[in-house]
Amino acid sequence: MKTVYDFTVKDRKGNEVNLSEYKGKVLLIVNTATGCGFTPHYEPLEAMYKELKDKGFEVLDFPCNQFANQAPGSDDEIHEFCTMKFHTEFPQFAKINVNGEDADPLYAFLATEKPFTGFGKGLKNAALNKFAEMNNKQFGDKAYIKWNFTKFLVDREGKVVARFEPTIDMREVKAAVAAAL
């Protein structure tokens, strides 16, 4: 059975990183953007990371510019923004595509393991769904991720156990992470 440990990604300097380096840890894998309405999610992500990293928790940050061009900077510019504005210390990887023919294989795997089930109810969620549908038409059946700050929870064995859309309250995400630890 395939796990996240079977994948290799690039760090923000372009070096190969085998995700097996994270064996035995609980991971929250997130596609991010610096100019999104959900960019403030960096704050609770960093707070959760600081609080739980000594218990075997890691946040893996993958910037992506496929959603309304909300992450246009270079890897270094994105990293500088995140560390200066949100004081992030968790690992940030090279900017990737999460959708389409050029989607990073890790993200194709994550989304296949835990497919999109909706943003939830309410006017704000309906508006995001409409905007995401328009944006993702270009990717067809390879529109794996619907928007920035989609989070995948991976257990200590490397299995994808949950998917959280950006509209999910971060307290719910933290509770799931705590339970996985």
Candidates 3.90.1150.150, 3.40.50.300, 3.40.30.10, 3.90.79.10; CATH matching 4-180: 3.40.30.10
Catalytic position from the list 26, 30, 33, 36: 36
Let me know if 36 is a catalytic residue: yes
Asked if residue 131 has pLDDT above 80, the reply is: no
Q: Which long-range contacts (CB under 8 A, 24 or more apart) does 99-104 make?
A: 99/66, 99/136, 99/139, 99/142, 99/143, 99/144, 99/145, 100/66, 100/138, 100/139, 100/142, 100/143, 101/142, 103/142, 103/144, 104/9, 104/62
pTM of the model: 0.94
pLDDT in tens, 63-111: 999 998 899 999 999 999 999 999 999 999 999 999 999 999 999 999 9
